[in-house]
């Protein structure tokens, strides 16, 4: 069995360490390179030591050298870093799995353009369970299409830098599409002061940041006399990492194209 050689961006971060752990547990995966920014204090350390299992791969900052020995780059960093990584992947014709969030519309368009050259899986959440929830939300919204107010509530750790989360926004997009709405026209991100009566077409978002919460997401359908809640709660980052490796396997043998986890899981 040929394993997939992965390069991991941001390898010393919370998600990077979880990806290293997931690669070491996966018989179809090999850690080929671990990347960090040039000023990182972790440069030169054995990447496996970060998760208690030395592997002989030293953390480095040479992106081109890393991609020269890799089949796929996994990136859960920040948009500015991701764009640099995409350009390097294009040079080396290496596929990339992007779990980074916080992109603007222009940034998403740039990713789509890059997918004409290399294969890309770009998804706000790689966890299989979350992607099952996306499908459930589509069904629920079509059934509960009248008489229900819709709110998206999400909670993450204190270190998360974007809000609402990419997963919460994707949940809103799924619901809006099922209802024939444009999320850009009906979304409300927080409320304060005298807001007036809630319009029926609104999709509201509420954000919580604190502690070490990995990620909780709830979509509330509030009707007269009843409430329906669809919730996903993450106890660890491992499901995201395992989903990213599954996405990497999906890219094997593909020359280009833009895909998401619904493609990877065969839900389209």
* Catalytic annotation, residues: 156, 160
Strand segments, DSSP code E, in the chain are: 4-8, 29-35, 59-60, 72-75, 95-98, 119-122, 148-156, 187-189, 203-209, 215-223, 226-234, 257-259
- The number of beta carbons lying within 10 Å of the beta carbon of residue 129 is 12
CA 206 – CA 187 distance, rounded (Å): 11
Alpha-carbon distance of 169 to 152, in angstroms, equals 9
Using alpha carbons only, what angle is made at residue 242 by residues 207 and 61, rounded to the nearest 5 degrees?
85
Contacts of 7 (CB under 8 A, 6+ apart): 32, 33, 34, 35, 66, 67, 69, 70, 72, 73, 74, 94
Beta-strand runs (E) in 224-267: 226-234, 257-259
Which of 32, 74, 17 lies closest to 238 in space, CA to CA? 17
CA distance 26 to 253: 19
Task: State how far the Cα of 189 lies from the Cα of 170, in Å rounded to an integer.
Answer: 14
- Rounded to whole angstroms, the Cα distance separating 129 from 131 reads 5
| Rounded Cα–Cα distance for residues 201 and 215 (Å) | 27
């Amino acid at each position: 069995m040929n394993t997939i050689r992965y390069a991991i961006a941001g390898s010393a971060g919370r998600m990077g360490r979880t990806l290293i752990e997931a690669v070491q547990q996966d018989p179809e995966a090999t850690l080929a390179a671990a990347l960090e920014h040039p000023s990182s204090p972790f440069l030169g350390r054995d990447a496996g030591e970060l998760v208690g299992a030395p592997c002989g791969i030293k953390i480095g900052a040479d992106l081109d050298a890393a991609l020269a020995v890799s089949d796929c780059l996994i990136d859960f960093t920040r948009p500015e870093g991701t764009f640099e990584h995409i350009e390097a992947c294009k040079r080396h014709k290496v596929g990339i799995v992007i779990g980074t969030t916080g992109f603007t519309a222009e940034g998403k368009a740039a990713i789509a353009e890059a997918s004409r050259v290399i294969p890309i899986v770009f998804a706000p959440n790689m966890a299989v369970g979350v992607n099952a929830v996306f499908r459930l939300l589509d069904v629920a919204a079509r059934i509960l299409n009248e008489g229900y107010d819709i709110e998206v509530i999400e909670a993450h750790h204190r270190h998360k830098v974007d809000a609402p989360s990419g997963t919460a926004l994707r949940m809103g997009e799924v619901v809006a599409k099922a209802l024939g709405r444009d999320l850009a026209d009906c979304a409300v991100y927080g409320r304060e002061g005298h807001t007036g009566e809630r319009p029926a077409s609104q999709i509201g978002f509420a954000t919580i940041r604190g502690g070490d919460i990995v990620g909780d997401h709830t979509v509330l359908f509030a009707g007269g006399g009843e409430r329906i809640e669809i919730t996903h709660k993450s106890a660890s980052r491992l499901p995201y990492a395992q989903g990213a490796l599954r996405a990497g396997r999906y890219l094997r043998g593909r020359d280009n194209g833009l895909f998401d986890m619904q493609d990877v899981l065969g839900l389209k």
